[in-house]
Amino acid sequence: MTDLNPPSKSVSLDDLLRANKDQFDQLFATQVREVGLVDVSHRPATEEDLMSPSMRAWHDGDGEDVTAFLNTRFGSDWSSEVVEHKVERGAVTVLCKLTVDGVSKMQFGSARANGDEGKALRHATNQALKACAAMFAEAAVPVGPPAAPTPEERLEGQGREMLDAPAPRAPRPAERPGTLDTITLDLIENALRNARHEMDAVLFRSAMSPVIREQHDEFPMITDGKGRMIVGQFGSYIPEMLKEQTFRLLPGDVILQSDPFKCGGAISHINDWMVLVPIFYENEVIGFSSMFGHMMDVGGPVPGSMPTAATSVFGEGLRIPPIKIYDGGALNKGALDLIMNNTRTPEMNFSDLMAIIAGCRTGEKRVIEICDRFGKDIYRQACEALLERTNRAMHQLIVQNLPEEPQSFEDYVDDDGLGNGPFKLKLTVWREGEHAYFDWTGTSPQAPGPINFYLHEGMFKMFIGVYMIMVFDPQILFNDGFYDLIHVTLPKGSLVHPNFPAPLGCRTHALSRQFDVLGGALSKKAPEMATAAGYGSSPHFLYSGTDADGRQFQLMEILYGGIPGRPVGDGMDGHSWWPLFENIPSEYLECYYPMLIESYGSISDTGGAGLHRGGNGVEKVYLLLEEGEISIHDDRHESQPWGILGGAPGACSEKWLVRKDGTREPLPSKVDNVKVRNGDRIVFRTAGGGGWGDALERESVKVRNDVARGLLSRGAARESYGVVVSENFDVDETATRDLRETMRAGRPPLPLFDFGRQPSWGGTTASA
- The model's pLDDT over 705-760, given as tens digits with 9 standing for 90+, comes to 999 999 999 999 999 999 999 999 999 999 999 999 999 998 999 999 999 987 76
Contacts 24+ apart (CB under 8 A), 66-74: 66/38, 66/125, 66/126, 66/129, 66/130, 67/38, 67/42, 67/43, 69/130, 69/133, 70/42, 70/98, 70/129, 70/133, 71/42, 73/133, 73/136, 74/100, 74/133, 74/136, 74/141
Q: Hey, which residues does 665 pair with through a beta bridge? A: 657
The percent of residues above 90 in pLDDT, for the chain, comes to: 57
**Calpha distance 634→636 (Å, rounded):** 7
pLDDT tens, residue by residue, 149-171: 444 443 343 333 333 333 334 44
Per-residue pLDDT at 90: 62
474: confidence class by pLDDT, cuts 50, 70, 90: low
Lowest mean pLDDT among 132-136, 588-592, 656-660: 132-136
CA dist 419 and 478 (Å) reads 39
Which among 398, 404, 425 has a CA at the least distance from the CA of 414?
Answer: 425
Of 626 and 75, the one with more pLDDT: 626
Which among 467, 371, 434, 29 has a CA at the least distance from the CA of 173?
371
Residue 40: per-residue pLDDT: 34
Residue range 643-657: mean pLDDT, rounded: 97
pLDDT of amino acid 483: 82
327 burial class (0-12, 13-18, 19+ CB within 10 angstroms)? middle
| pLDDT surpassing 80 at residue 104 | no
Cβ count near 342 (within 10 Å): 16
Task: Give pLDDT, residue 532.
Answer: 93
pLDDT, residue 233, reads 74
pLDDT, mean of residues 476-486? 79
295 CB-side CA count, 13 A:
40
Say which residue, 337 or 76, is predicted with more confidence: 337
Nearest to 268 by CA among 521, 463, 417, 410: 463
pTM of the model: 0.72
Q: What is the mean pLDDT of residues 272-296?
A: 94
In this structure, are residues 478 and 219 in contact, taking their beta carbons and an 8 Å threshold? no
Q: Give yes or no for residue 1 having a pLDDT over 50.
A: no
What DSSP character marks residue 337? H
Determine the distance from the C-alpha atom of residue 86 to the mean position of all C-alpha atoms in its chain, rounded to a whole number. 29
Q: How much is the pLDDT for 632?
A: 96
pLDDT at 122: 82
Q: What is the pLDDT of residue 303?
A: 93
User: What is the tens place of the pLDDT at every residue in 413-424?
Assistant: 999 999 998 999
**Is the CB of residue 267 less than 8 Å from the CB of residue 507?**
no
CA-to-CA distance for 391 and 379, rounded, in angstroms? 18
Using N-to-C axis directions, what is the helix angle for 66-74 and 117-135, rounded to 10°?
20
Q: How much of the chain is in helix, strand and coil states, percent to nearest 5?
A: 35, 25, 45
Going by pLDDT thresholds of 50, 70 and 90, the confidence category of residue 598 is: very high
pLDDT given at position 755: 94
**Residue-level pLDDT at 82:** 82
- Where do the domains of the chain lie? 13-162, 183-391, 531-692, 695-749
Residue-wise pLDDT for 121-134, tens only, equals: 888 888 888 878 87
Cβ proximity of 479 and 228 under 8 Å = yes
Q: Percent of the chain beyond pLDDT 70? A: 82
Highest mean pLDDT, choosing among 73-82, 241-250, 371-380:
371-380
Q: What average pLDDT is seen over the chain?
A: 83
What does the pLDDT average to over 14-41? 47
Q: Cβ neighbours of residue 331 under 8 Å, at least 6 residues apart?
A: 325
Q: Taking a C-beta distance cutoff of 8 angstroms, is the pair 620, 559 a contact?
A: yes
> Which pLDDT value is given to residue 154?
39
Cβ–Cβ < 8 Å for 272, 313: no
**Who has greater pLDDT, 35 or 632?**
632
**Stretch 434-451: mean pLDDT:** 94
Residue 173 has pLDDT above 60, yes or no: no
* 3-class state of residue 370 by DSSP: helix
Tell which wins on pLDDT, 381 or 398: 381
For residue 416, what are the contacts with CB-CB under 8 A and spacing of at least 6?
423, 447, 448, 449, 450, 451, 506, 670
Is the confidence at residue 512, as pLDDT, over 50?
yes
Terminus-to-terminus CA distance in the chain, angstroms?
A: 73
Write out the DSSP string of 193-222.
Answer: HHHHHHHHHHHHHH--SHHHHTT--EEEEE
Quick one: DSSP state of residue 44?
P
pLDDT at position 398 over 90:
no
115 pLDDT higher than 90: no
Instruction: Name residues whose C-beta falls within 8 Å of residue 485's C-beta, 6 or more positions apart in sequence.
Output: 391, 394, 395, 398, 434, 435, 436
The mean per-residue pLDDT over the stretch 560-586 comes to 90
